[in-house]
Each structure stands twice: as C-alpha cells, then as structure tokens.
Structure 1
Amino acid sequence: MRAFLLTVAIVLIAFVVKVDLTEGTLSLAAFYPKDGQNALCEDQREPAYITVQTIQGDTIHSLFALHPAKMPMTFPERLELFYQLNPHLQLQALVPGENIKLPLSFEIENACGK
C-alpha cells in the first residue's frame, strides 16, 4: 500500500511540475529571445513626451487640456502612459514646481531604428 501511495504522490508531483513549467508561473517567453537586437530595442521604447513644471492648482486633467496629444488617444490610454513616465505620482497629488513628463503620443522607438 505504501508503494502505491508513494507512486501516486510522485506522479502527482511530476504532473504539477510539468503544468507549472509549461503553463504556470514560469513564462516560456523569457526562454526564447526574440531576434537578438530587436528584443533589446523593444525594451528601450517609450512614448513621446514633453516635460512641464507644475504650478499651484494644476491637475492631470488641466495639463492634458493645455498640452493636447499629437495623435488621438483616449483619456485612460493617456493616463496609463502618464503613470508609466511618472511612476512616483501613482498615489500622490501634483506638487507645485515639480517637473513631470506628459505623453504626447504612443510608443516611438529610440536610437535602435528598425
């Protein structure tokens, strides 16, 4: 009986490990690099932005209104880019005199040049 339970336990553990490695917490994408140099370029992409200094009474809405985007995008899309550029403002109000980055368009490539 012990041998049977031990065999069932080993098979169950092997199944869980197989599922975890193929579909679970370890992503297979990291194991297969994309086109070498192009993969590095994708990591260096960032949205086009301008840097502005805030003044008393500024809000994200007012800054977006003063500096419209170069291409059509929804407010949630632009807000997501804003927080990617300014992660320190995630749970914080704008402080007068602070320099922040305002996104103007979606991602553009840096010096990699495809």
Structure 2
Amino acid sequence: MRALLLTAIIVLVAFIVKIDLTEGTLPLASFYPKETEELCEDQREPIYISVQVIQGDTIHSLFAIQPAKVPMTFPERLQLFYQLNPHLQLQELVPGENIKLPLSYELENLCGK
C-alpha cells in the first residue's frame, strides 16, 4: 500500500513540475505585453514604391538608388522586399518586371506608437 501511495505522489509531483516548466507558475499572468507586440507586428504595413527592373539591376542596387525613409538594416529591408514580392524568393530579377520596393513601415493607430 505504501508503494502505491508513494508512486502516486511521485507521479503527481512530476506532473506538477512538468506543468510548471512548460506553462509557468502563473500561466495567466501577463508581465510583458508580448501578445500586444505581436499584434502590432502583424498590423504593420510597409510603404513601398513600384519600380520597373532594367538589365543589370540587383536588389542591392535598387535599395541603393531608393534609400529607406527610416533607418533599416539590409536584412530587415530584404525581408520586407520578399514579403511584398513572394514570387521572387528563389528567382533573379527579370528586366521589364514591375516589383515593389519597400521604403518603410507604416504603423497602424492600434499599436500606440
């Protein structure tokens, strides 16, 4: 009987530790507005211009010709570029093609920024 009771206590403690490690001690407490930041990130819309590609253009040369309105790193701007032009993920720029060139983010009013 003692072995059964001891086994049940060990299983219960292991279950509580697992829940505590995966969900946290206070799973409903919100100390950091993580969901709000993610919501604001989803509501961002990039400001862009449409440009027509000519022979010899590269993404880097297009970024140099049309600088961003706000300071952005090259990887951030490249991510926006592929977000606006998903068909160019694994392709080169084709002369004569119209593409969207990101300039900055426009934040929604709901973000409070």
Residue 80 of structure 2 is matched in structure 1 by: 81
1:99 Cα deviation (Å)?
Answer: 3.1
1:50 Cα deviation (Å)?
Answer: 0.9
Q: In the TM superposition, what whole-angstrom CA distance separates every residue of 1:47-89 from its partner, at most 9, and x where no partner exists? A: 2111223344321012112322223433233223223333443
Give unmatched runs, 5+ long, in structure 2.
none
Residue 3 of structure 1 is matched in structure 2 by: 5
1:112 Cα deviation (Å)?
Answer: 6.4
Q: Per the alignment, in what secondary structure is the counterpart of residue 24 of structure 2?
A: helix
Q: CA RMSD in A?
A: 3.4
Please identify, of 91-100 and 12-21, the stretch whose mean Cα deviation from structure 2 is larger. Answer: 91-100
Alpha-carbon distance in 2 for matches of 1:2, 1:94: 69
Amino acid at match of 1:84: Q
Sequence identity of aligned pairs in percent? 57
Give unmatched runs, 5+ long, in structure 1.
none
Q: Whose Rg is larger?
A: 2
Please identify, of 13-22 and 78-87, the stretch whose mean Cα deviation from structure 2 is larger. Answer: 78-87
- 5 Å matches for 1:1-114? 1-22=3-24, 34=36, 43-105=42-104, 107-110=105-108
Q: Per the alignment, in what secondary structure is the counterpart of residue 94 of structure 1?
A: coil
Task: Provide TM-score, normalisation by structure 1.
Answer: 0.61
